[in-house]
Amino acid sequence: MEFDILAIIGIVIVSLFLISIILVFVGVGLIVLFWNAQKIILPRLTLFVVSTFELPIKKVIRFFKINLDDNAYSNIDVAKVDIMIAQLRTMLNKDIFTKVPIEKRAIFIPQCLRSPKCPAPTLPEGLQCIKCGRCGLYLLKEH
């Protein structure tokens, strides 16, 4: 039995495509399980699959109208996939983060969370909160 190089390449490409489709549906299942039961199976593998196939997973969720919350009549919000990825990263990095002494920690927060009337100066190091109370960001600084 002789195989030429194009046949082998074709088999490899089709195999990778089928594996990708399977991983997308596995990712959807892991997201639904995580969102409904708040249980995570193999967190690092889940993060890899969901991060790698984020866009196709969102398309499958939207196409099949998969609900990720208790309200069966709600519109699907694929942003919940982003929330899950953030929660997974937080869960996986919590031990590393807590080992860093408090005085050496840095928390990066998007500027869209600050009040439009924030008087805090923006320095080269970033925004320096002065605890004015116009937004809740100062609470993060206290913890």
Residues 2-12: tens digit of each pLDDT? 669 988 999 99
Phi, psi (deg, nearest 5) at residue 72: -65, -15
> Residues with Cβ < 8 Å from 39, sequence gap 6 or more?
33
pTM for this entry: 0.65
Q: What is the pLDDT of residue 61?
A: 86
**Crossing angle between the packed helical segments 79-99 and 5-37, to the nearest 10 degrees:** 80
Enumerate the β-bridge partners of residue 127.
122
Q: Is 105 left (phi over 0), alpha (psi -120 to 50) or beta?
A: beta
What pLDDT shows up at residue 136?
A: 80
Tell me, what's the pLDDT at 54?
92
Q: Kindly give the parts of the chain with pLDDT less than 50.
A: 73-76
Give the pLDDT score at 2. Answer: 65
